[in-house]
Amino acid sequence: MLLKEGISFGNIKRLPSGRGTEGLFKDTWIMNICAPSRAGKRQQRETFFTHDLAYLLPASSKEI
Residue 40 lies in a domain: yes
pTM listed for this prediction: 0.65
Residue 48: closest CA among 20, 24, 21, 13: 20
What's the N-to-C CA distance of the chain in angstroms? 16
Considering its fold, how many domains does the chain have in total? 1
User: CB neighbours (10 Å) of residue 23?
Assistant: 18
- Burial of 47: CB neighbours in 10 Å, binned 0-12, 13-18, 19+: middle
Q: pLDDT tens digits, residue range 31-42?
A: 888 988 888 888
Residue 21 lies in a domain: yes
Residue 51 lies in a domain: yes
For every residue of 17-36, DSSP letters joined together read: TSSEEEEEETTEEEEEE---
Q: pLDDT tens digits, residue range 12-53?
A: 888 888 898 888 888 788 888 898 888 888 888 998 988 888
Residue-number span of the structural domain to which 32 is assigned: 12-56
Residue 3 lies in a domain: no
Residue 7 lies in a domain: no
Confidence class of residue 59 from pLDDT cuts 50, 70 and 90? low
